[in-house]
């Protein structure tokens, strides 16, 4: 998801299951700290879908599901982590516990299938085939991720902490300000290739939405334990990472601005 995480790449099936089901370790923190999706993105997906019935794959705690519901959509979530599902249901969301590749639609169909920062934990071909099965004609498949680039000084400081405490991590220092987007292109390509291989869809497109968010030291440190690198790390390692990262942010004045690009990989059902 960011320069403080490994550059995303299509994971193995075992990695998809193991990592994808680790985020519920602190569902409340995940929901509180993970950024929402830009409203222009929500609006465009809704405008370019043929109706309001949505299936939210890997819905987690319901961040994007609530946004689509607020836009007038009827949303059903599918999520493999029971801890995340319990949290999402507190707000009245309808969520079923299953991995999407194994989920049983029971004849139900939808106007759109959406997935926010989740599709890389799903087999790209099997997932696209299941989406094609449940989408109505002209229904939209919309897969989206946040891409963001840490300020260079912040990234350098964070990298030093990771190299010292998590030497086996594939964390890397971004080469230049555009490298975060470059790193994500393999993930976007895997999603697009899976859609093409599954069949039943028209041309695949990318939509980009630029925005930014200001993070205080405490806000960023609150989010860090929800990142895939740290959800599986020992508590003592997490504590040391947060201490080192906090010191780096303090040296920068206690806050920084993060530029985001939210990228949508999308196609319509033939």
Per residue in 11-54, pLDDT (tens digit) is 555 554 555 555 667 899 999 999 999 999 999 999 999 999 99
- Count CB neighbours of 27 within 10 A: 22
Whether residue 113 contacts residue 68, with contact meaning beta carbons closer than 8 Å, is answered with no
Question: Domains along the chain?
Answer: 13-150+177-214+258-269 (3.40.50.150)
Helices 152-165 + 235-251 axis angle, to 10: 150
Q: Give the model confidence (pLDDT) of 46-96 as tens digits.
A: 999 999 999 999 999 999 999 999 999 999 999 999 999 999 999 999 999
Q: How many CA atoms lie within 13 A of 23 on its CB side?
A: 27
| Closest by CA position to 69, among listed 20, 36, 118 | 36
Per-residue CA distances from 128 to 29, 123, 168, 172 (Å):
30, 8, 32, 30
Q: Give the model confidence (pLDDT) of 115-133 as tens digits.
A: 999 999 999 999 999 999 9
Cα(155)–Cα(43) distance, integer angstroms: 32
Please give the model's pTM, rounded to 2 decimal places: 0.87
Cα(56)–Cα(45) distance, integer angstroms: 13
Whether residue 120 contacts residue 153, with contact meaning beta carbons closer than 8 Å, is answered with no
Sheet with 74-79, edge to edge strand ranges:
94-97, 74-79, 53-57, 110-116, 135-148, 255-268, 205-216
Q: How confident is the model at residue 173 (pLDDT cuts 50, 70, 90)?
A: low
| Closest by CA position to 128, among listed 197, 78, 59 | 197
Q: How confident is the model at residue 206 (pLDDT cuts 50, 70, 90)?
A: very high
């Amino acid at each position: 998801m960011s320069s403080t995480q490994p550059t995303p790449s299509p994971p193995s099936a075992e990695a998809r299951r193991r990592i994808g089901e680790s985020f519920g370790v602190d569902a409340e923190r995940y929901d509180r700290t993970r950024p929402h999706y830009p409203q222009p993105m929500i609006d465009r997906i809704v405008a370019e879908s043929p109706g309001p019935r949505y299936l939210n794959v890997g819905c987690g705690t319901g961040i994007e599901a609530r946004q689509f519901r607020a836009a007038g959509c009827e949303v059903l979530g599918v999520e493999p982590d029971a801890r995340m599902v319990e949290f999402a249901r507190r707000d009245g969301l309808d969520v079923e516990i299953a991995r999407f590749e194994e989920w049983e639609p029971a004849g139900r169909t939808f106007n759109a299938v959406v997935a926010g920062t989740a599709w890389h934990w799903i087999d790209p071909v099997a997932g696209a085939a299941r989406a094609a099965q449940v989408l109505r004609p002209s229904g939209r498949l919309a897969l989206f991720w946040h891409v963001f680039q840490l300020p260079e000084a912040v990234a350098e400081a964070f990298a030093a902490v990771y190299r010292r405490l998590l030497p086996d991590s594939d964390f890397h220092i971004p080469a230049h300000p555009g490298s975060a987007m470059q790193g994500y292109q393999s993930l976007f390509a895997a999603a697009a290739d899976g859609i093409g291989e599954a069949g039943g869809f028209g041309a695949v497109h990318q939509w980009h939405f630029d925005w930014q968010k200001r993070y205080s030291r405490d806000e960023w440190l609150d989010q860090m334990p929800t990142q895939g690198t740290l959800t599986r790390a020992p508590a003592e390692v997490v504590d040391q990472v947060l201490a080192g990262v906090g010191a780096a942010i303090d040296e920068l004045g206690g806050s920084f601005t993060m530029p985001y690009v939210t990228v949508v990989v999308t196609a319509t059902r033939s």
